[in-house]
Structure 1
Protein backbone atom coordinates (compact mmCIF):
# COMPACT_ATOMS: atom_id res chain seq x y z
CA UNK A 1 0.00 0.00 0.00
CA UNK A 2 1.33 3.45 -0.92
CA UNK A 3 2.29 5.70 1.97
CA UNK A 4 -0.22 8.50 2.31
CA UNK A 5 0.77 12.12 1.81
CA UNK A 6 -0.20 14.31 4.75
CA UNK A 7 -1.03 18.02 4.86
CA UNK A 8 -1.12 19.91 8.16
CA UNK A 9 -2.66 23.38 8.59
CA UNK A 10 -2.28 25.32 11.84
CA UNK A 11 1.15 25.41 13.51
CA UNK A 12 0.29 27.24 16.73
CA UNK A 13 0.89 26.35 20.38
CA UNK A 14 -0.50 22.83 19.95
CA UNK A 15 -0.38 22.38 16.18
CA UNK A 16 3.34 23.11 15.87
CA UNK A 17 4.54 20.31 18.15
CA UNK A 18 1.87 17.92 16.84
CA UNK A 19 3.05 18.48 13.28
CA UNK A 20 6.68 18.07 14.32
CA UNK A 21 5.96 14.68 15.91
CA UNK A 22 3.89 13.56 12.94
CA UNK A 23 6.61 14.53 10.48
CA UNK A 24 9.27 12.75 12.54
CA UNK A 25 7.33 9.47 12.76
CA UNK A 26 5.26 9.21 9.57
CA UNK A 27 7.01 7.33 6.78
CA UNK A 28 5.67 9.60 4.04
CA UNK A 29 5.75 13.29 3.23
CA UNK A 30 4.19 15.82 5.61
CA UNK A 31 3.57 19.32 4.31
CA UNK A 32 2.76 22.14 6.74
CA UNK A 33 1.18 25.58 6.47
CA UNK A 34 0.33 28.48 8.77
CA UNK A 35 -0.54 32.11 8.07
CA UNK A 36 2.01 33.22 10.67
CA UNK A 37 5.63 33.58 9.52
CA UNK A 38 7.05 32.78 12.96
CA UNK A 39 4.96 29.61 13.25
CA UNK A 40 6.28 28.39 9.89
CA UNK A 41 9.86 29.31 10.81
CA UNK A 42 9.64 27.26 14.01
CA UNK A 43 9.12 24.09 11.91
CA UNK A 44 11.95 24.72 9.46
CA UNK A 45 14.27 22.37 11.35
CA UNK A 46 11.71 19.54 11.32
CA UNK A 47 11.07 16.85 8.69
CA UNK A 48 7.90 18.68 7.65
CA UNK A 49 7.99 20.45 4.30
CA UNK A 50 6.84 23.93 5.35
CA UNK A 51 5.14 26.06 2.69
CA UNK A 52 3.93 29.65 2.57
CA UNK A 53 1.05 28.82 0.21
CA UNK A 54 -2.03 26.87 1.19
CA UNK A 55 -2.37 25.50 -2.35
CA UNK A 56 1.10 23.94 -2.06
CA UNK A 57 0.28 22.17 1.20
CA UNK A 58 -2.91 20.70 -0.26
CA UNK A 59 -1.38 19.61 -3.56
CA UNK A 60 -1.71 15.83 -3.78
CA UNK A 61 -2.56 15.38 -0.08
CA UNK A 62 -4.47 12.24 0.88
CA UNK A 63 -5.17 13.36 4.46
CA UNK A 64 -5.47 16.91 5.78
CA UNK A 65 -5.05 17.59 9.50
CA UNK A 66 -6.31 20.88 10.95
CA UNK A 67 -5.31 22.55 14.24
CA UNK A 68 -7.14 25.87 14.21
CA UNK A 69 -8.60 28.30 16.80
CA UNK A 70 -12.23 27.26 16.40
CA UNK A 71 -15.25 26.34 14.31
CA UNK A 72 -15.22 29.52 12.21
CA UNK A 73 -11.71 28.88 10.92
CA UNK A 74 -12.28 25.15 10.41
CA UNK A 75 -15.46 25.70 8.41
CA UNK A 76 -13.80 28.43 6.33
CA UNK A 77 -10.92 26.15 5.32
CA UNK A 78 -13.20 23.17 4.65
CA UNK A 79 -15.54 25.26 2.50
CA UNK A 80 -12.69 25.70 0.00
CA UNK A 81 -11.72 22.04 -0.18
CA UNK A 82 -14.23 20.87 -2.81
CA UNK A 83 -12.38 23.19 -5.23
CA UNK A 84 -8.82 22.92 -3.84
CA UNK A 85 -8.53 19.43 -2.36
CA UNK A 86 -7.87 16.09 -3.99
CA UNK A 87 -10.97 13.95 -4.68
CA UNK A 88 -11.46 11.56 -1.78
CA UNK A 89 -9.51 13.77 0.64
CA UNK A 90 -9.91 12.83 4.31
CA UNK A 91 -10.01 15.79 6.73
CA UNK A 92 -9.09 15.20 10.38
CA UNK A 93 -9.91 18.16 12.61
CA UNK A 94 -7.75 18.30 15.74
CA UNK A 95 -9.29 21.64 16.80
CA UNK A 96 -11.93 22.11 19.49
CA UNK A 97 -15.15 23.26 17.81
CA UNK A 98 -18.74 22.21 18.51
CA UNK A 99 -20.72 19.08 17.82
CA UNK A 100 -23.02 20.92 15.42
CA UNK A 101 -20.09 22.42 13.50
CA UNK A 102 -18.39 19.03 13.16
CA UNK A 103 -21.55 17.50 11.74
CA UNK A 104 -22.15 20.42 9.36
CA UNK A 105 -18.59 20.17 8.09
CA UNK A 106 -18.82 16.40 7.66
CA UNK A 107 -22.04 16.72 5.65
CA UNK A 108 -20.58 19.40 3.41
CA UNK A 109 -17.45 17.35 2.69
CA UNK A 110 -19.46 14.18 2.17
CA UNK A 111 -21.44 15.93 -0.55
CA UNK A 112 -18.11 16.66 -2.26
CA UNK A 113 -16.94 13.05 -2.02
CA UNK A 114 -14.60 13.75 0.90
CA UNK A 115 -14.47 12.25 4.40
CA UNK A 116 -14.18 13.84 7.84
CA UNK A 117 -13.26 12.99 11.43
CA UNK A 118 -13.37 15.22 14.48
CA UNK A 119 -10.37 14.44 16.70
CA UNK A 120 -9.89 17.18 19.31
CA UNK A 121 -6.90 16.86 21.64
CA UNK A 122 -6.51 17.27 25.38
CA UNK A 123 -3.59 17.82 27.78
CA UNK A 124 -0.89 20.47 27.78
CA UNK A 125 1.54 21.94 25.27
CA UNK A 126 4.28 19.94 27.00
CA UNK A 127 2.30 16.77 26.31
CA UNK A 128 2.01 17.84 22.66
CA UNK A 129 5.79 18.26 22.50
CA UNK A 130 6.30 14.79 23.99
CA UNK A 131 3.66 13.21 21.73
CA UNK A 132 1.57 12.27 24.76
CA UNK A 133 -1.77 13.89 24.01
CA UNK A 134 -5.19 12.39 24.64
CA UNK A 135 -7.17 12.40 21.39
CA UNK A 136 -10.94 11.89 21.25
CA UNK A 137 -12.23 10.80 17.85
CA UNK A 138 -15.62 10.98 16.20
CA UNK A 139 -15.54 8.94 12.98
CA UNK A 140 -16.79 5.85 11.24
CA UNK A 141 -15.04 2.58 12.11
CA UNK A 142 -13.36 2.59 8.69
CA UNK A 143 -12.02 6.13 9.00
CA UNK A 144 -10.86 5.55 12.58
CA UNK A 145 -8.89 2.46 11.55
CA UNK A 146 -7.23 4.49 8.81
CA UNK A 147 -6.18 7.44 10.99
CA UNK A 148 -5.39 5.61 14.23
CA UNK A 149 -1.67 5.13 13.36
CA UNK A 150 -1.27 8.82 12.50
CA UNK A 151 -2.94 9.94 15.72
CA UNK A 152 -0.65 7.57 17.61
CA UNK A 153 2.30 9.66 16.43
CA UNK A 154 0.90 12.59 18.43
CA UNK A 155 -0.90 10.98 21.35
CA UNK A 156 -0.58 8.10 23.78
CA UNK A 157 -4.33 7.80 24.39
CA UNK A 158 -6.55 7.68 21.30
CA UNK A 159 -10.22 6.98 22.01
CA UNK A 160 -12.85 6.20 19.38
CA UNK A 161 -15.87 7.93 20.94
CA UNK A 162 -18.41 7.04 18.23
CA UNK A 163 -19.69 8.70 15.08
CA UNK A 164 -19.06 12.22 13.79
CA UNK A 165 -19.37 14.83 16.54
CA UNK A 166 -18.78 12.52 19.48
CA UNK A 167 -15.11 13.46 19.68
CA UNK A 168 -16.12 17.09 20.13
CA UNK A 169 -18.78 16.12 22.67
CA UNK A 170 -16.26 14.27 24.84
CA UNK A 171 -13.68 17.07 24.51
CA UNK A 172 -16.19 19.76 25.50
CA UNK A 173 -17.32 17.71 28.49
CA UNK A 174 -13.68 17.15 29.50
CA UNK A 175 -12.88 20.86 29.28
CA UNK A 176 -16.03 21.97 31.07
CA UNK A 177 -15.20 19.65 33.97
CA UNK A 178 -11.72 21.14 34.22
CA UNK A 179 -12.97 24.75 34.07
CA UNK A 180 -15.65 24.05 36.66
CA UNK A 181 -13.19 22.26 38.96
CA UNK A 182 -10.68 25.11 38.74
CA UNK A 183 -13.40 27.60 39.70
CA UNK A 184 -14.53 25.37 42.58
CA UNK A 185 -10.94 24.98 43.79
CA UNK A 186 -10.48 28.75 43.58
CA UNK A 187 -13.52 29.24 45.81
CA UNK A 188 -12.17 26.77 48.38
CA UNK A 189 -8.67 28.29 48.34
CA UNK A 190 -10.12 31.77 48.88
CA UNK A 191 -12.35 30.56 51.71
CA UNK A 192 -9.51 28.64 53.35
CA UNK A 193 -7.21 31.65 53.12
CA UNK A 194 -9.81 33.90 54.77
CA UNK A 195 -10.22 31.25 57.50
CA UNK A 196 -6.49 31.39 58.23
CA UNK A 197 -5.33 28.27 56.37
CA UNK A 198 -2.15 28.71 54.34
CA UNK A 199 -2.96 27.77 50.70
CA UNK A 200 0.01 25.38 50.50
CA UNK A 201 -1.12 23.60 53.67
CA UNK A 202 -4.67 23.41 52.30
CA UNK A 203 -3.59 21.78 49.04
CA UNK A 204 -1.27 19.35 50.83
CA UNK A 205 -4.00 18.28 53.24
CA UNK A 206 -6.73 17.94 50.61
CA UNK A 207 -4.39 16.02 48.28
CA UNK A 208 -4.15 13.32 50.95
CA UNK A 209 -7.91 12.94 51.16
CA UNK A 210 -10.86 12.29 48.91
CA UNK A 211 -10.71 15.86 47.56
CA UNK A 212 -7.51 15.10 45.62
CA UNK A 213 -7.68 15.52 41.84
CA UNK A 214 -5.75 16.16 38.65
CA UNK A 215 -6.82 19.82 38.79
CA UNK A 216 -5.54 20.23 42.35
CA UNK A 217 -2.19 18.62 41.56
CA UNK A 218 -1.68 20.50 38.29
CA UNK A 219 -3.63 23.75 38.05
CA UNK A 220 -3.73 24.19 41.83
CA UNK A 221 -0.11 23.48 42.63
CA UNK A 222 1.53 24.78 39.45
CA UNK A 223 -0.47 27.97 38.81
CA UNK A 224 -2.86 28.89 41.62
CA UNK A 225 -0.50 28.30 44.54
CA UNK A 226 2.40 30.36 43.10
CA UNK A 227 -0.18 32.72 41.49
CA UNK A 228 1.45 32.44 38.07
CA UNK A 229 -0.96 33.01 35.19
CA UNK A 230 1.07 33.72 32.04
CA UNK A 231 -0.39 35.12 28.83
CA UNK A 232 0.94 32.34 26.58
CA UNK A 233 -1.11 29.57 28.15
CA UNK A 234 -4.77 28.55 27.80
CA UNK A 235 -6.58 31.90 28.28
CA UNK A 236 -9.97 32.72 29.75
CA UNK A 237 -11.09 33.91 26.29
CA UNK A 238 -10.72 30.32 25.04
CA UNK A 239 -12.52 29.01 28.11
CA UNK A 240 -15.60 31.02 27.16
CA UNK A 241 -15.50 29.60 23.61
CA UNK A 242 -15.44 26.03 24.90
CA UNK A 243 -18.08 26.66 27.55
CA UNK A 244 -20.36 28.16 24.88
CA UNK A 245 -19.99 24.93 22.91
CA UNK A 246 -20.75 22.89 26.04
CA UNK A 247 -23.88 24.91 26.81
CA UNK A 248 -25.02 24.57 23.20
CA UNK A 249 -24.63 20.81 23.51
CA UNK A 250 -26.46 20.78 26.84
CA UNK A 251 -29.31 22.79 25.33
CA UNK A 252 -29.58 20.44 22.37
CA UNK A 253 -29.67 17.50 24.80
CA UNK A 254 -32.31 19.14 26.99
CA UNK A 255 -30.17 18.83 30.12
CA UNK A 256 -29.70 21.75 32.55
CA UNK A 257 -26.05 22.74 33.05
CA UNK A 258 -26.22 25.14 35.98
CA UNK A 259 -22.73 24.46 37.29
CA UNK A 260 -21.32 25.12 33.81
CA UNK A 261 -23.33 28.37 33.66
CA UNK A 262 -21.83 29.50 36.98
CA UNK A 263 -18.33 28.76 35.71
CA UNK A 264 -19.11 30.71 32.53
CA UNK A 265 -20.13 33.72 34.60
CA UNK A 266 -16.86 33.64 36.54
CA UNK A 267 -14.68 33.50 33.42
CA UNK A 268 -16.80 36.12 31.66
CA UNK A 269 -16.09 38.44 34.57
CA UNK A 270 -12.37 37.70 34.29
CA UNK A 271 -12.55 38.77 30.64
CA UNK A 272 -14.62 41.86 31.48
CA UNK A 273 -11.93 42.93 33.93
CA UNK A 274 -9.29 42.83 31.19
CA UNK A 275 -7.59 39.54 32.11
CA UNK A 276 -8.99 37.43 29.28
CA UNK A 277 -5.55 36.69 27.82
CA UNK A 278 -4.16 35.25 31.06
CA UNK A 279 -4.02 31.55 31.95
CA UNK A 280 -7.54 30.67 33.07
CA UNK A 281 -6.77 29.63 36.70
CA UNK A 282 -6.42 33.40 37.19
CA UNK A 283 -10.09 33.09 38.15
CA UNK A 284 -8.64 32.60 41.66
CA UNK A 285 -7.61 36.27 41.68
CA UNK A 286 -11.19 37.29 40.85
CA UNK A 287 -12.76 35.10 43.52
CA UNK A 288 -10.18 36.11 46.13
CA UNK A 289 -10.90 39.80 45.47
CA UNK A 290 -7.47 40.57 44.08
CA UNK A 291 -8.51 41.49 40.53
CA UNK A 292 -9.08 45.16 39.74
CA UNK A 293 -12.44 46.21 38.35
CA UNK A 294 -11.93 48.71 35.48
CA UNK A 295 -15.32 50.26 36.19
Structure 2
Protein backbone atom coordinates (compact mmCIF):
# COMPACT_ATOMS: atom_id res chain seq x y z
CA UNK A 1 0.00 0.00 0.00
CA UNK A 2 1.44 3.37 -1.03
CA UNK A 3 1.98 5.90 1.76
CA UNK A 4 -0.12 9.06 1.85
CA UNK A 5 1.89 12.22 2.39
CA UNK A 6 0.44 15.35 3.93
CA UNK A 7 3.02 18.03 3.21
CA UNK A 8 2.20 21.30 4.93
CA UNK A 9 5.34 22.36 6.79
CA UNK A 10 8.64 22.53 4.89
CA UNK A 11 12.02 23.08 6.52
CA UNK A 12 14.99 24.22 4.43
CA UNK A 13 18.60 23.93 5.63
CA UNK A 14 21.37 25.70 3.69
CA UNK A 15 20.87 29.31 2.59
CA UNK A 16 23.82 29.62 0.25
CA UNK A 17 24.24 30.85 -3.32
CA UNK A 18 21.45 28.59 -4.58
CA UNK A 19 19.64 27.71 -1.36
CA UNK A 20 18.62 31.24 -0.40
CA UNK A 21 16.61 31.99 -3.57
CA UNK A 22 15.20 28.46 -3.54
CA UNK A 23 13.91 28.87 0.01
CA UNK A 24 12.40 32.25 -0.86
CA UNK A 25 10.64 30.81 -3.91
CA UNK A 26 9.17 27.95 -1.86
CA UNK A 27 7.73 30.47 0.59
CA UNK A 28 5.79 32.24 -2.17
CA UNK A 29 3.30 29.36 -2.28
CA UNK A 30 0.71 29.91 0.44
CA UNK A 31 -0.06 26.20 0.59
CA UNK A 32 3.13 25.60 2.57
CA UNK A 33 4.63 26.96 5.77
CA UNK A 34 8.34 27.34 5.04
CA UNK A 35 11.08 27.74 7.65
CA UNK A 36 14.75 28.20 6.78
CA UNK A 37 18.03 27.77 8.62
CA UNK A 38 21.74 28.26 8.02
CA UNK A 39 24.68 27.97 10.40
CA UNK A 40 25.72 31.42 9.16
CA UNK A 41 23.62 33.82 11.25
CA UNK A 42 23.92 36.56 8.62
CA UNK A 43 22.09 34.32 6.14
CA UNK A 44 19.24 33.89 8.62
CA UNK A 45 19.01 37.66 9.00
CA UNK A 46 18.66 38.04 5.22
CA UNK A 47 15.85 35.49 5.23
CA UNK A 48 14.05 37.35 8.02
CA UNK A 49 14.35 40.61 6.05
CA UNK A 50 12.69 38.79 3.16
CA UNK A 51 9.73 38.09 5.44
CA UNK A 52 10.43 34.41 6.12
CA UNK A 53 10.67 32.41 9.31
CA UNK A 54 13.96 30.97 10.53
CA UNK A 55 14.63 28.11 12.92
CA UNK A 56 16.88 28.19 15.97
CA UNK A 57 18.92 25.25 14.69
CA UNK A 58 18.88 22.23 12.37
CA UNK A 59 17.28 20.11 15.10
CA UNK A 60 14.29 22.45 15.08
CA UNK A 61 13.92 21.95 11.33
CA UNK A 62 13.94 18.15 11.52
CA UNK A 63 11.56 18.00 14.48
CA UNK A 64 8.88 20.36 13.18
CA UNK A 65 8.43 19.76 9.46
CA UNK A 66 6.74 17.20 7.22
CA UNK A 67 9.34 17.70 4.52
CA UNK A 68 12.98 18.61 5.16
CA UNK A 69 15.21 19.89 2.36
CA UNK A 70 18.97 20.19 2.75
CA UNK A 71 21.07 22.15 0.26
CA UNK A 72 24.68 22.22 1.46
CA UNK A 73 28.08 23.00 -0.14
CA UNK A 74 29.12 19.37 -0.56
CA UNK A 75 29.25 15.81 0.69
CA UNK A 76 31.37 16.45 3.77
CA UNK A 77 28.78 18.93 5.04
CA UNK A 78 25.94 16.52 4.27
CA UNK A 79 27.72 13.70 6.10
CA UNK A 80 28.36 15.94 9.11
CA UNK A 81 24.75 17.09 9.34
CA UNK A 82 23.13 13.68 9.02
CA UNK A 83 25.63 11.51 10.89
CA UNK A 84 28.06 13.52 13.07
CA UNK A 85 25.35 15.96 14.15
CA UNK A 86 22.94 13.00 14.34
CA UNK A 87 20.06 14.69 12.53
CA UNK A 88 19.20 11.35 10.98
CA UNK A 89 18.20 10.13 14.45
CA UNK A 90 15.43 12.76 14.49
CA UNK A 91 13.74 11.54 11.32
CA UNK A 92 10.24 10.25 12.12
CA UNK A 93 7.83 7.88 10.40
CA UNK A 94 6.47 9.06 7.02
CA UNK A 95 8.66 12.17 7.03
CA UNK A 96 10.22 13.02 3.66
CA UNK A 97 13.85 14.13 3.42
CA UNK A 98 15.33 15.61 0.24
CA UNK A 99 19.02 16.37 -0.17
CA UNK A 100 19.60 18.89 -2.97
CA UNK A 101 23.34 19.21 -2.39
CA UNK A 102 25.83 17.67 -4.82
CA UNK A 103 27.30 14.66 -3.04
CA UNK A 104 28.74 11.24 -3.77
CA UNK A 105 26.04 8.70 -4.76
CA UNK A 106 27.36 6.26 -2.14
CA UNK A 107 26.55 8.77 0.62
CA UNK A 108 23.00 9.14 -0.71
CA UNK A 109 22.48 5.38 -0.60
CA UNK A 110 23.81 5.25 2.97
CA UNK A 111 21.42 7.99 4.09
CA UNK A 112 18.54 6.30 2.29
CA UNK A 113 19.20 3.00 4.07
CA UNK A 114 19.07 4.69 7.49
CA UNK A 115 15.93 6.66 6.65
CA UNK A 116 14.11 3.60 5.32
CA UNK A 117 14.79 1.88 8.65
CA UNK A 118 12.64 4.61 10.22
CA UNK A 119 9.83 3.96 7.72
CA UNK A 120 10.51 7.36 6.22
CA UNK A 121 11.36 8.47 2.69
CA UNK A 122 14.39 9.98 0.99
CA UNK A 123 15.30 11.50 -2.37
CA UNK A 124 18.51 12.96 -3.72
CA UNK A 125 17.66 15.92 -5.94
CA UNK A 126 20.76 17.91 -6.93
CA UNK A 127 20.26 21.06 -8.98
CA UNK A 128 21.73 22.43 -12.18
CA UNK A 129 21.86 25.75 -14.05
CA UNK A 130 22.85 29.18 -12.81
CA UNK A 131 22.20 31.32 -9.74
CA UNK A 132 19.89 33.46 -11.87
CA UNK A 133 17.93 30.30 -12.66
CA UNK A 134 17.61 29.69 -8.91
CA UNK A 135 16.30 33.24 -8.45
CA UNK A 136 13.84 32.81 -11.34
CA UNK A 137 12.69 29.36 -10.20
CA UNK A 138 14.00 27.81 -13.43
CA UNK A 139 16.44 25.20 -12.12
CA UNK A 140 16.88 21.72 -13.54
CA UNK A 141 16.46 19.17 -10.76
CA UNK A 142 17.68 15.58 -11.10
CA UNK A 143 15.80 13.30 -8.71
CA UNK A 144 16.81 9.90 -7.41
CA UNK A 145 13.96 8.18 -5.56
CA UNK A 146 11.23 5.61 -5.98
CA UNK A 147 8.29 6.62 -8.17
CA UNK A 148 5.83 7.22 -5.30
CA UNK A 149 8.18 9.62 -3.55
CA UNK A 150 8.95 11.39 -6.83
CA UNK A 151 5.27 12.01 -7.57
CA UNK A 152 4.76 13.31 -4.02
CA UNK A 153 7.63 15.80 -4.05
CA UNK A 154 7.35 16.93 -7.66
CA UNK A 155 4.79 19.72 -6.91
CA UNK A 156 7.19 21.13 -4.31
CA UNK A 157 10.19 20.93 -6.61
CA UNK A 158 8.22 22.68 -9.36
CA UNK A 159 8.21 25.79 -7.16
CA UNK A 160 11.99 26.09 -7.60
CA UNK A 161 12.62 24.36 -10.93
CA UNK A 162 11.26 24.23 -14.47
CA UNK A 163 12.65 20.81 -15.41
CA UNK A 164 12.11 18.08 -12.81
CA UNK A 165 13.75 14.87 -14.03
CA UNK A 166 13.24 11.45 -12.44
CA UNK A 167 16.59 9.74 -13.01
CA UNK A 168 15.88 6.46 -11.21
CA UNK A 169 16.51 5.12 -7.72
CA UNK A 170 18.29 6.98 -4.91
CA UNK A 171 21.79 7.96 -6.03
CA UNK A 172 20.89 8.30 -9.70
CA UNK A 173 20.17 12.01 -9.31
CA UNK A 174 23.74 12.50 -8.10
CA UNK A 175 25.17 10.39 -10.92
CA UNK A 176 23.33 12.55 -13.44
CA UNK A 177 24.37 15.82 -11.81
CA UNK A 178 28.02 14.84 -11.44
CA UNK A 179 28.39 13.66 -15.02
CA UNK A 180 26.43 16.66 -16.30
CA UNK A 181 28.85 18.98 -14.54
CA UNK A 182 31.84 17.02 -15.83
CA UNK A 183 30.62 17.71 -19.38
CA UNK A 184 29.72 21.34 -18.60
CA UNK A 185 33.08 22.18 -17.03
CA UNK A 186 35.02 20.83 -20.00
CA UNK A 187 32.73 22.74 -22.35
CA UNK A 188 33.45 25.94 -20.42
CA UNK A 189 37.18 25.23 -20.66
CA UNK A 190 36.89 24.82 -24.45
CA UNK A 191 35.02 28.14 -24.66
CA UNK A 192 37.70 29.81 -22.52
CA UNK A 193 40.42 28.47 -24.81
CA UNK A 194 38.52 29.60 -27.92
CA UNK A 195 38.03 33.11 -26.54
CA UNK A 196 41.69 33.39 -25.59
CA UNK A 197 42.80 32.35 -29.09
CA UNK A 198 40.29 34.76 -30.69
CA UNK A 199 41.53 37.66 -28.57
CA UNK A 200 45.16 37.04 -29.53
CA UNK A 201 44.16 37.21 -33.21
CA UNK A 202 42.17 40.41 -32.60
CA UNK A 203 38.83 38.78 -33.37
CA UNK A 204 35.53 39.94 -31.88
CA UNK A 205 34.92 37.17 -29.36
CA UNK A 206 31.28 38.13 -28.87
CA UNK A 207 30.64 37.83 -32.58
CA UNK A 208 32.59 34.57 -32.68
CA UNK A 209 30.40 33.06 -29.98
CA UNK A 210 27.24 34.31 -31.71
CA UNK A 211 28.42 32.62 -34.89
CA UNK A 212 29.23 29.38 -33.05
CA UNK A 213 25.75 29.46 -31.48
CA UNK A 214 24.36 28.87 -34.98
CA UNK A 215 26.72 25.96 -35.62
CA UNK A 216 27.48 22.54 -34.15
CA UNK A 217 29.43 24.08 -31.25
CA UNK A 218 26.29 25.60 -29.75
CA UNK A 219 25.55 24.70 -26.12
CA UNK A 220 24.01 25.80 -22.84
CA UNK A 221 27.53 26.71 -21.70
CA UNK A 222 28.05 28.96 -24.72
CA UNK A 223 24.78 30.85 -24.22
CA UNK A 224 25.29 31.29 -20.49
CA UNK A 225 28.92 30.97 -19.38
CA UNK A 226 30.31 32.06 -22.75
CA UNK A 227 28.17 35.04 -23.73
CA UNK A 228 27.37 36.25 -20.20
CA UNK A 229 30.70 35.68 -18.45
CA UNK A 230 33.72 34.70 -20.55
CA UNK A 231 33.51 37.38 -23.27
CA UNK A 232 32.81 40.06 -20.65
CA UNK A 233 35.48 38.86 -18.19
CA UNK A 234 32.70 38.92 -15.61
CA UNK A 235 33.26 36.46 -12.76
CA UNK A 236 31.01 37.48 -9.86
CA UNK A 237 30.97 36.36 -6.25
CA UNK A 238 28.58 34.96 -5.07
CA UNK A 239 28.27 32.48 -7.89
CA UNK A 240 29.20 28.85 -8.55
CA UNK A 241 32.88 29.14 -7.66
CA UNK A 242 36.04 27.37 -8.77
CA UNK A 243 36.15 25.63 -5.37
CA UNK A 244 32.62 24.27 -5.83
CA UNK A 245 33.39 23.20 -9.39
CA UNK A 246 36.50 21.31 -8.29
CA UNK A 247 34.51 19.58 -5.57
CA UNK A 248 31.94 18.35 -8.09
CA UNK A 249 34.66 17.32 -10.54
CA UNK A 250 36.36 15.29 -7.81
CA UNK A 251 33.26 13.10 -7.53
CA UNK A 252 33.40 12.33 -11.27
CA UNK A 253 37.11 11.49 -11.05
CA UNK A 254 36.45 9.20 -8.08
CA UNK A 255 33.62 7.38 -9.87
CA UNK A 256 35.87 6.85 -12.90
CA UNK A 257 38.81 5.61 -10.82
CA UNK A 258 36.63 2.99 -9.13
CA UNK A 259 35.95 1.51 -12.58
CA UNK A 260 39.56 1.94 -13.85
CA UNK A 261 38.46 4.50 -16.44
CA UNK A 262 41.04 7.02 -17.65
CA UNK A 263 39.73 10.61 -17.70
CA UNK A 264 42.46 12.85 -19.18
CA UNK A 265 40.02 15.73 -19.72
CA UNK A 266 38.93 15.69 -16.08
CA UNK A 267 42.49 15.37 -14.83
CA UNK A 268 43.67 18.32 -16.89
CA UNK A 269 40.75 20.45 -15.74
CA UNK A 270 41.34 19.49 -12.12
CA UNK A 271 44.91 20.78 -12.40
CA UNK A 272 43.61 24.06 -13.83
CA UNK A 273 41.13 24.41 -10.98
CA UNK A 274 43.95 23.87 -8.48
CA UNK A 275 46.06 26.50 -10.24
CA UNK A 276 43.17 28.97 -10.24
CA UNK A 277 42.65 28.46 -6.50
CA UNK A 278 46.37 28.89 -5.82
CA UNK A 279 46.34 32.15 -7.78
CA UNK A 280 43.49 33.55 -5.68
CA UNK A 281 40.51 32.89 -7.94
CA UNK A 282 38.94 30.10 -5.88
CA UNK A 283 35.87 32.03 -4.71
CA UNK A 284 35.04 33.52 -8.11
CA UNK A 285 32.65 32.19 -10.76
CA UNK A 286 34.41 29.16 -12.23
CA UNK A 287 34.75 30.41 -15.88
CA UNK A 288 37.49 32.61 -14.38
CA UNK A 289 39.82 29.74 -15.38
CA UNK A 290 40.18 31.71 -18.63
CA UNK A 291 42.54 34.04 -16.76
CA UNK A 292 45.12 31.31 -16.15
CA UNK A 293 45.30 29.99 -19.71
- Give TM-score, length-normalised by structure 1: 0.90
Corresponding residue of 2:71? 67
Give a deviation string over 1:151-199, Cα, whole Å, max 9, x none.
1111111000000111001111111111101111111222222334232
Task: Flag the 1:252–1:51 CA change in 2: closer, same or farther, 3 A.
Answer: same
* Range with bigger deviation, 233-242 or 29-38: 29-38
Task: Flag the 1:47–1:278 CA change in 2: closer, same or farther, 3 A.
Answer: closer
Of the candidates 23, 34, 39, which is equivalent to residue 19 of structure 1?
Answer: 23
Q: Confirm or deny: 8 A CA contact 2:99 2:124 kept in the other structure.
A: yes
Corresponding residue of 2:270? 264
Corresponding residue of 2:54? 50
Q: Confirm or deny: 8 A CA contact 1:35 1:52 kept in the other structure.
A: no
1:205 matched to 2:211? The reply is: yes
Corresponding residue of 2:13? 9
Q: What SS does the aligned partner of 2:195 have?
A: helix
Give the CA deviation at 1:55.
2.8
- Give TM-score, length-normalised by structure 2: 0.91
Of the candidates 154, 160, 171, which is equivalent to residue 154 of structure 1?
Answer: 160
- Structure 1 segment 1-295 matched on structure 2, within 5 A: 2-25=6-29, 27-46=31-50, 48-79=52-83, 80-287=86-293
Q: What SS does the aligned partner of 1:42 have?
A: helix
| Unaligned residue ranges in structure 1 (runs of 5+) | 288-295
Give the CA deviation at 1:46.
4.8
Give the CA deviation at 1:58.
2.3
User: In 2, distance between residues paired with 1:166 and 1:226?
Assistant: 36
Q: Confirm or deny: 8 A CA contact 1:6 1:65 kept in the other structure.
A: yes
User: In 1, distance between residues paired with 2:35 and 2:212?
Assistant: 47
RMSD: 1.9
Aligned residues: 287
* Range with bigger deviation, 190-199 or 242-251: 190-199
Task: Flag the 1:107–1:214 CA change in 2: closer, same or farther, 3 A.
Answer: same
Task: Flag the 1:239–1:36 CA change in 2: closer, same or farther, 3 A.
Answer: same
Give the CA deviation at 1:2.
4.3
